[in-house]
Amino acid sequence: MGTTLPHAATGLPLCFIHHDQPENNMSDQSQESLPQAAPVEEETSTESPELRSILDGLKSLVPQARAAISKANDLKGLDAVRVEYLGKKGHLTEINKRFGKLSTDERPIAGRMLNLHKGEILTLFKKRTDDLEARELEDTLLKETVDVTLPGLRPPLGAHHPVAQVTRQITDIFMNMGFSLRYGPEIETEWLNFDALNVPREHPARDMQDTLYADRGYVLRTHTSPTQVRNMLDMEPPMAVITTGKVYRHDSDATHSPMFHQMEGFAVGEGISFGHLKGVLHEFLEAFYGAGVKVRFRPSFFPFTEPSAEVDVWSDAHGGWIEVLGSGMIHPNVLKNGGIDPEKYTGFAFGLGIDRLTMIKYNVPDLRLLFENDIRFLRQFQ
Which is higher by pLDDT, 102 or 37? 102
* Least confidently predicted of 63-77, 249-263, 311-325, 360-374: 249-263
Structural domain contains residue 90: yes
Structural domain contains residue 215: yes
Considering the domain architecture, whether residues 223 and 292 belong to the same structural domain is answered as yes
Q: Quick one: pLDDT at residue 209? A: 56
Which is higher by pLDDT, 141 or 11? 141
Considering the domain architecture, whether residues 211 and 260 belong to the same structural domain is answered as yes
Considering the domain architecture, whether residues 224 and 108 belong to the same structural domain is answered as no
Considering the domain architecture, whether residues 221 and 83 belong to the same structural domain is answered as no
Q: Quick one: pLDDT at residue 368? A: 87
Structural domain contains residue 226: yes
pLDDT digits (tens, 9 = 90+) for 161-197: 999 999 999 999 999 999 999 999 999 999 999 999 9
d(CA 280, CA 178) in angstroms, rounded, equals: 11
- Give 221: exposed, middle or buried? Use CB within 10 Å, 0-12, 13-18, 19+: buried
Considering the domain architecture, whether residues 170 and 94 belong to the same structural domain is answered as no
pTM beyond cutoff 0.75: no
Question: CA 259, 263, 264: angle at the middle one, nearest 5?
Answer: 120
Considering the domain architecture, whether residues 204 and 334 belong to the same structural domain is answered as yes
- 136 by DSSP, 3-state: which? helix
Which is higher by pLDDT, 46 or 48? 48
Q: How confident is the model at residue 376 (pLDDT cuts 50, 70, 90)?
A: confident
The mean pLDDT value of the chain amounts to 83
**Among 120, 135, 150, residue at a domain's last position:** 135
d(CA 356, CA 310) in angstroms, rounded, equals: 14
Instruction: Find out whether 66 and 124 touch, Cβ atoms under 8 Å.
Output: yes
Is beta strand 180-181 parallel, antiparallel or unpaired with respect to 239-248? parallel
Considering the domain architecture, whether residues 113 and 188 belong to the same structural domain is answered as no
Structural domain contains residue 289: yes
Q: Quick one: pLDDT at residue 255? A: 66
CATH number for the domain spanning 322: value is: 3.30.930.10
Q: How confident is the model at residue 295 (pLDDT cuts 50, 70, 90)?
A: very high
pLDDT digits (tens, 9 = 90+) for 91-143: 888 888 888 888 888 888 888 888 888 888 898 888 989 988 998 888 888 88
- 18 by DSSP, 3-state: which? coil
Structural domain contains residue 23: no
Q: How far is CA 26 from CA 19, 29, 31, in A?
A: 18, 5, 9
Residue type, 14: L
Considering the domain architecture, whether residues 276 and 358 belong to the same structural domain is answered as yes
Quote the number of domains for the chain.
2
pLDDT digits (tens, 9 = 90+) for 332-373: 999 999 999 999 999 999 999 999 899 888 888 888 888 888
d(CA 170, CA 192) in angstroms, rounded, equals: 25
pLDDT at 18 over 80: no
Range of the domain at 235: 162-381
Report the sign of the C-alpha dihedral through residues 142, 148, 151, 152, in that order. Answer: positive
Structural domain contains residue 43: no
Considering the domain architecture, whether residues 231 and 353 belong to the same structural domain is answered as yes
Q: Quick one: pLDDT at residue 98? A: 85
Residue type, 52: R
- 21 by DSSP, 3-state: which? coil
Considering the domain architecture, whether residues 361 and 277 belong to the same structural domain is answered as yes
Considering the domain architecture, whether residues 267 and 363 belong to the same structural domain is answered as yes
Q: Quick one: pLDDT at residue 254? A: 66
pLDDT at 267 over 90: yes
Considering the domain architecture, whether residues 247 and 345 belong to the same structural domain is answered as yes
- Give 318: exposed, middle or buried? Use CB within 10 Å, 0-12, 13-18, 19+: exposed
Structural domain contains residue 4: no
**Among 81, 116, 135, residue at a domain's last position:** 135
Structural domain contains residue 173: yes
Q: Quick one: pLDDT at residue 227? A: 94
